[in-house]
Amino acid sequence: MHYEAAEGLAKESLRKLQTERLKRTISTCMRSSFYGSRLGALNIRPEDFTSPDDIRKLPFTTKDDLRGNYPYGLLCQPMDQYVRLHASSGTTGTPTAIFYTQNDIDSWAGLVARCMYAVGLRKGDVFQNMSGYGLFTGGLGIHYGAERLGLLTVPAGAGNSKRQVKLLRDFNVSGIHIIPSYALHFANFLKQEGIDPKSLNWRIALIGAEPHTEEIRQRIQDLLGIKAYNSYGLTEMNGPGVAFECEKQAGMHLWEDAYIAEIIDPETGEWVKEGEVGELVMTTLCRDGMPLLRYRTRDLTRFIPGDCACGRTHRRIDRITGRADDMLIIKGCNIYPMQIEQALMSLPEVAQNYLIELFKEGEMDQLRIKVEIKDEYFVEDMRALTALQKKIASRLRDEVLVTPRVELVQHDSIPKSEGKAVRVVDLRDK
Ligand code: AMP
Ligand code: ZN
């Protein structure tokens, strides 16, 4: 049983549909200033694309392209056609923003609804979205999908565990969306409060937005007494709803009528052999407002060979095993070490060296930054030092949206490594 017939399309029909949509997408792209000049210079013509494999004729699009053409350089429609935008974090590093037309929002909601249906949520279910709302797509993206499916949707947002429990109980919630680290934290909270998870009506959790292992999934399932399904997405490809596990929990179906996915060797840019791990590259097929061609996600995964027992024909990707760049994900927020460096270096008190440490406190990932302070500011006045510590923490929070622990250390006290500086130390046990 599928939410939409397209989920079971025969492979050949799916490829035909992809080709048609790819051609249309390329034509649309030509209208943006960025793609207009880039594709024009390469003499790309939609009619030269006769199979999805022809996608290799197109150049890649990178995060830097989005940054370099921020905010409007990739828009393909008149400004009054847009109804929403989502954006990545950051105030010093140039952010990236994705703009959606009403059609884009509608087709995205359809994809998310499809995912939710695939894990067994149905009209009549009550669904609590326990992830943050705002510019982050995990809020409104999941929300609109849940409403589309006809679920009674509780927009709880993240945090405030006490209130979450009250909502879960009062409204007999049967499904939730939560990031894995918060799910573990929430399990601890229930334990501390003496609440038996089995006393709740919930049965399904969608977990995603950050990397996690099969072991973490098992723990979440055991501790909360529910089934947890992996959900993958990224803002550049709308947000959640890109690839999702079905009830078989055997990899995530990537919706191939809405995206063309490729797995490449991040060094050479060539396709890897079927089943091998590489970088996921994605093209939108159903977006009018800001379509992206061959976007380098930097996420590492592989296609799972073979068909899924659920009957859906769309290929599955494995859980994300890492990144081809240095992006960190803490409490669901994407953080580049460079953002931290830029924020630190904008403060006159900070000397040259710093060290980013990732550690675990309970089940939550935390960020600690050791910062070398210039001698003239490294004074004995405790109040001055505490004020400085607070100033640095709040500057960093503005930048990466997570409040780090800040430890002030003396100039030249962080050990230097030979060769490349080690800026990030991961103390979380894997
Ligand atoms: P954002 O655009 O802020 O939603 O972040 C998207 C990024 O979060 C992706 O490129 C991945 O690196 C990460 N991500 C999202 N979902 C998952 C998931 N299910 N497993 C692992 N990483 C994920
Ligand atoms: Zn399946």
- Closest ligand 1 atom to the C-alpha of 231? 19
Contact indicator for 76, 289 with CB cutoff of 8 Å: yes
The residue whose CA is least distant from atom 1 of ligand 1 is: 234
Distance CA 19, CA 49 (A): 7
Q: How far is the CA of 232 from the centre of ligand 1 (A)?
A: 6
Residues in Cβ contact with 35 at an 8 Å cutoff, skipping those fewer than 6 apart? 29, 74, 76, 293
Distance CA 261, CA 258 (A): 10
pLDDT tens over the chain, length 430 residues? 899 999 999 999 999 999 999 999 999 999 999 999 999 999 999 999 999 999 999 999 999 999 999 999 999 999 999 999 999 765 556 789 999 999 999 999 999 999 999 999 999 999 999 999 999 999 999 999 999 999 999 999 999 999 999 999 999 999 999 999 899 989 999 999 999 999 999 999 999 998 888 988 999 999 999 999 999 999 999 999 999 999 999 999 999 999 999 999 999 999 999 999 999 999 999 999 999 999 999 999 999 999 999 999 999 999 998 899 989 999 888 898 888 988 998 999 999 889 999 999 888 899 999 999 999 999 889 999 999 999 999 999 998 889 999 999 999 898 876 666 788 999 987 5
Neighbours of 110 (CB within 10 A): 21
- Closest ligand 1 atom to the C-alpha of 236? 2
Contact indicator for 118, 3 with CB cutoff of 8 Å: yes
What are the φ and ψ backbone dihedral angles of 324, each rounded to 5 degrees? -85, 0
Choose which residue among 232, 279, 302, 316 to substitute to test ligand 1 binding: the one with the highest number of ligand atoms within 8 A of its C-beta.
Answer: 232
Distance CA 256, CA 263 (A): 14
Choose which residue among 135, 177, 298, 299 to substitute to test ligand 1 binding: the one with the highest number of ligand atoms within 8 A of its C-beta.
Answer: 299
List % helix, strand, coil for the chain (3-state, nearest 5).
35, 25, 40
- Closest ligand 1 atom to the C-alpha of 89? 3
Q: How far is the CA of 70 from the centre of ligand 1 (A)?
A: 21
Q: What six digits make up the tokens of 214? A: 């099969």
Helices (H), 119-193: 137-149, 161-170, 180-192
DSSP string, 98-125: EEEEHHHHHHHHHHHHHHHHHTT--TT-
Q: How far is the CA of 249 from the centre of ligand 2 (A)?
A: 7
Q: How far is the CA of 115 from the centre of ligand 2 (A)?
A: 11
Contact indicator for 168, 200 with CB cutoff of 8 Å: yes
Residues with CB under 6 A from ligand 1: 137, 208-211, 230-235, 239, 297, 299, 319-320, 329, 334
- Of 83, 92, 3, residue with least CA distance to 341: 92
CA of 207, nearest ligand number:
1
